[in-house]
Structure 1
């Protein structure tokens, strides 16, 4: 039964009790009482005992109904209080979860930025390694050219040696010297180019080493290998 229905029922009972009270107080007295003439003094009329019992019984029922209504209302209030406490607990838990998710989101964001920076460093280090490999290949090419030029000089010397031992060795020596000077100049240029490449290789290797240590300073301790001159 809803609260509105209970209130309507109580109002109906109160109306019935009021009607009974009015009827009792306005009714006649005891049937054994003699009727006095109209001109004589009016006597006080009392309600019959049965009517009083009916009224008392109605009041008792009204009191019981009110007590049941109060008890039921208290129970509903307790249920509402329990639900409110549960709701407040859920709200607090949701707020705590929201804060924790926000903190975790910030941590993940910082980690993502760190990983992105690490990826960029690795990419740059890979580029440096590619450049270093290219310079090493160029250095090997220069080294091979120097060896080839030295072999060429040796062949020229061996080829012109008979001419030097003959009578007309002055012109042959001059020609040979010119050729040797050109070859020596070319060898010198190749050596200078190789020295510059060695310097660039060392610089790139140092950069790679520094970036490796930044990526993992606690474990990466790779010694730079000596580059041959």
Structure 2
């Protein structure tokens, strides 16, 4: 590959592009993992795109020249063809046209070269686009790592409660939540809302808790006559985008006083190895409400935060194939597919992250619709619970709460 100065690309970009093209025929050796800044990689990708555009312009110019040549040869007509295969006219050089087949042969050769050049340029564009996608994913991972570093920042003080550093994960939550009711308590923080209830708290609201082996974090507690429940999800107005990747669902997002998702890791820390009760509150657009409550067990990240249901509960929720030991549903997002469908990514086909089975039983983290869409294909992407209002009815509001039961070791 030649790189002319008129192409307008820097020498380093030309060399990088030549390396991409020359590596097409052999596998590239594994490169050691390295991290480059987002700005550097973005500049390189932008430069490669500019170089690709320059090459494309060069091809278009060459194609125009070839078209002019074809027109000139066409205008030549019979003068370029020698009847009976006789020799060319005396004024034409002997090597220019040896026979009536020479000119078409030259044209076919030029066309073949031009097509090969076009193919190489298209491959270059595909490689650049692929690298751009990799850069975007790398940028997302860097942001997630920065958030995790912010959570792990050392804190000082005798109380052991770290507030400002930990609120970097959910800036909107930190700005809108306000102080927790137990923020000034000098004693240790409760493990969960149930323990807070057992200590005598009867007021619902925002509290700071600290499960075993976890840093403190803020939760919304719902105090009822039968104990303290931790609100882990709420949908009510579509103000928060729930179509997010795995790391967002693991860490949590949103506003605990509005729409939010507490976070899979926080949920697992709260429940630990204990069985729990999951309460699901549903509301449709006609003002009807439904409350479901059933036992569950939530695994850790090594199980993709699987939600284990007993066989009777799984059957009642619409599952058709259930083992006697129950049904285990891993959590799935569009970038980490763990659902039970081998031919489809439920989170990508629908919307949001959820404990998908076969994409058709429920999805309380789907797309929020402020009215029922007319198209059935669109409605299936909404918030639905099949055994209540059906597969294609997008709900208006949902709330999910969890309450650990007595300490029972997970089987």
Q: Which has the higher helix share?
A: 1
TM-score w.r.t. structure 1 length? 0.35
TM-score normalized by the length of structure 2: 0.21
> Quick check: which has more Rg, 1 or 2?
1
Q: Per residue, is there more strand in 1 or in 2?
A: 2
Larger RCO, structure (CA 8 Å, separation 6 or more): 1
